[in-house]
């Protein structure tokens, strides 16, 4: 692992506030003097671009912003949509259960008129506090998988690529993925005319699990499916599968682009592959073998272009 990657893992896992993001940007500037900052859009995104987006055949991306810490993990089961949906319903119930219980209790002691007044006062306050917890709350100190692993994958790619491979590639570190994919949305709008023909490879959560999915949308499969399968589906300890975005739900920045694939690592359960731990203090698993595995696969793909 390069010195830069080790520094990011040890000292720059928190990239939540404007100050923390600025410190991370300055670190990258020291290592990539030619990087560009594309700033704008909703929430004033600051996307970090290394390389020439206009000339690149492939744009490799990862979000660098990190999340607020939550009491329960953001759970993703991309190949079992029903379980994934039910978990998100339970998540909504979990967050709104306190206020429901509160009003069930107070309704036993106050008349309906008083309860209605309390509802009109307490509910907006609770909703604001909930949004604060989700969007502006205390930064998670542990982001090894989400998405320090993606950031380090990009850095390791740039350190290991040949000049010829780099000439075919540009790298983008997206801002504000955790707040609603706004950084990639801004990038897609800014480069709308050229992105129709560019392949986006988005790296998000690749250091916790031995089973990888390469989630490809229709346009990516039409243009590159044979090359993607040839380069990425072989493995020894790690298993990697190319799947369709239409049958696999993986919510990340690649969803904002017309020709894209997402790469992520998962653990295995009886109900299917899943992504857990993230958005909590338990996001500490960083398997560097996963990083080298994906770096090799992406380089193999780029060599075919």
Write the CATH number for 13. 3.40.630.10
Q: Rounded to whole angstroms, how far apart are CA atoms 109 and 302?
A: 68
Contact 301, 244 (CB under 8 A): no
* CA–CA distance, 157 with 86 (Å, rounded to integer): 37
Are residues 39 and 87 located together in one domain of the fold? no
Cα separation, 264 vs 116, in Å, equals 47
Contact between residue 154 and residue 60 where contact means Cβ atoms under 8 Å apart: yes
- Among residues 166, 164, 188, 184, the alpha carbon closest in space to that of 176 is found at 184
Half-sphere exposure of 203 toward its Cβ, with a 13 Å CA cutoff? 30
pLDDT of residue 106: 87
Q: What local confidence, expressed as pLDDT, does residue 235 receive?
A: 64
Number of domains into which the chain is organized: 2
Backbone phi and psi for residue 174, each to the nearest 5 degrees, phi listed first: -85, 145
Domain that holds residue 85: 81-136
Give CA separation, 40 vs 23, 24, 175, 250, in Å.
Answer: 19, 18, 10, 26
The answer to whether 263 and 290 are in contact (CB under 8 A) is no
Residue 268 corresponds to which tokens in the numbers above? 């295995």
Same domain, 239 and 94: no
88 and 23 both lie in a single domain: no
Instruction: Give the containing element (helix H, strand E) for 143.
Output: none
CA distance 131 to 68: 11
C-alpha to C-alpha distance for 168 and 51, rounded to whole angstroms: 9
Q: What is the pLDDT of residue 233?
A: 81
Q: Among 136, 153, 168, which residue terminates a domain?
A: 136
Looking at the fold, whether 51 and 127 belong to one and the same domain comes out as no
DSSP class of 279: T
Quote the pLDDT of residue 131.
Answer: 80
First to last CA, the chain: 26
Considering the domain architecture, whether residues 222 and 166 belong to the same structural domain is answered as yes
- 176 phi, psi to nearest 5 deg: 55, 35
Whether residues 154 and 236 fall in one domain: yes
DSSP code, position 181: S
Q: 76: which DSSP letter?
A: B
Question: Are residue 31 and residue 164 in the same domain, yes or no?
Answer: yes
> Last residue of a domain, which of 136, 157, 174?
136
Please give the model's pTM, rounded to 2 decimal places. Answer: 0.92
- Say if residue 209 is in the same domain as residue 193: yes
Place of tokens 């990009």: 154
Provide the phi-psi class of 272: left if phi over 0, else alpha when psi is between -120 and 50, else beta: left
Q: Is 140 helix (H, G, I), strand (E, B) or coil?
A: coil
Are 214 and 164 in contact by the 8 Å Cβ rule? The answer is: no
Same domain, 233 and 282: yes
258 and 297 within one domain:
yes
Tell me the average confidence (pLDDT) per consecutive run of 10 residues in the chain, 305 residues long: 98 97 98 98 97 97 95 92 91 89 89 89 89 83 98 98 97 96 98 95 97 97 95 81 95 98 97 95 97 96 94
Same domain, 202 and 241: yes
Question: Are residues 157 and 110 part of one domain?
Answer: no
């Amino acid at each position: 692992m390069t010195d830069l990657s080790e520094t990011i893992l040890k000292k720059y896992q928190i990239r939540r506030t404007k100050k923390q993001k600025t410190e991370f940007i300055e670190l990258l500037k020291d290592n990539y003097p030619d990087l560009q900052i594309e700033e704008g859009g909703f929430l004033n995104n600051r996307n970090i671009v290394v390389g020439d987006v206009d000339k690149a055949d492939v744009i490799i991306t990862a979000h660098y912003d990190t999340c607020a810490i939550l009491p329960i993990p953001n759970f993703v089961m991309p190949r079992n949509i029903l379980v994934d949906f039910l978990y998100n319903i339970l998540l909504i119930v979990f967050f709104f259960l306190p206020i429901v219980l509160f009003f069930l209790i107070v309704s036993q002691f106050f008349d309906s008129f008083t309860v209605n007044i309390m509802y009109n006062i307490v509910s907006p306050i609770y909703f604001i506090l909930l949004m604060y917890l989700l969007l502006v709350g205390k930064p998670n100190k542990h982001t090894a998988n989400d998405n320090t692993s993606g950031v380090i994958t990009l850095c390791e790619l740039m350190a290991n690529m040949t000049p010829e491979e780099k000439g075919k590639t540009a790298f983008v570190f997206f801002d504000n993925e955790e707040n609603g994919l706004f950084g990639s949305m801004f990038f897609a709008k800014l480069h709308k005319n050229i992105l129709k023909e560019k392949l986006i490879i988005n790296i998000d959560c690749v250091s916790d699990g031995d089973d990888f999915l390469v989630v490809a949308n229709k346009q990516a499969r039409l243009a590159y499916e044979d090359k993607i399968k040839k380069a990425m589906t072989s493995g020894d300890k790690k298993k990697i599968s190319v799947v369709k975005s239409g049958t696999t739900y993986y919510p990340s920045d690649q969803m904002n682009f017309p020709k894209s694939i997402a790469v992520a690592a998962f653990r295995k359960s009886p109900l299917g592959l899943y992504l857990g731990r993230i958005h909590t203090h338990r996001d500490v698993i960083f398997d560097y073998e996963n990083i080298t595995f994906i770096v090799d696969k992406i380089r193999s793909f780029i060599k075919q272009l």
